[in-house]
A = this chain, B = another copy of it.
């Protein structure tokens, strides 16, 4: 079995052999074809996903338009929280590429805690880290112009531009596809000048 999930977990807490077995036995590795929806409206409203291979896109519908909130690629976790509030915006996740992921839900989580109590601490550490990342992405977004945000993306996640359609990148950057196209043109003219 691909042990990157275990390696990922061991970044946070060391695991005993028994604990590793508990996790292995969950048997939560799944493969999906490009374009497949992993999470749909009305689905289990709480999920934890870890990407072994491929690229997932998280999005929601806002004013009738798809808004991309995240791209999750190799060795990254994705937590879907929609709390208890039923009138929240529905969230979706689909595959930008053929992908291999581990998929867990809330029941599974409760079950795992029984055999593996420190799992609670693990979840705490992961969600704290995600909170921190999210907060710093938010800060970066707030203080950058659309052009600067695109430059930041080029610097931080250059692979996405090869993997993901432009209009999804534009949406992720909070701008219209036309604007992204214009920005790219502007930058390429500057660099060649």
- Taking Cβ atoms with an 8 Å cutoff, the residues of A that contact B are 60, 62-63, 67, 69, 79, 81-83, 88-89, 120-121, 123-124, 127-132, 134-139, 141-143, 174
Contact = CB atoms under 8 A, between A and B. Distances in A.
Contacts of A120: 120-121, 124
This protein's copies in its complex: 2
B142 A81 contact: no
Contact of A81 (B81, B89, B128): B128
A167 to B, nearest CB: 15
6 contacts: A62-B139, A69-B139, A81-B132, A89-B139, A123-B124, A134-B135
B67 A143 contact: yes
User: What are the 10 closest A-B residue pairs judged by CB atoms, nearest first?
Assistant: A124-B124, A142-B174, A81-B132, A131-B131, A127-B127, A138-B138, A127-B128, A120-B120, A123-B124, A134-B134
Contacts of A130: 131
B83 A135 contact: no
A37 to B, nearest CB: 19
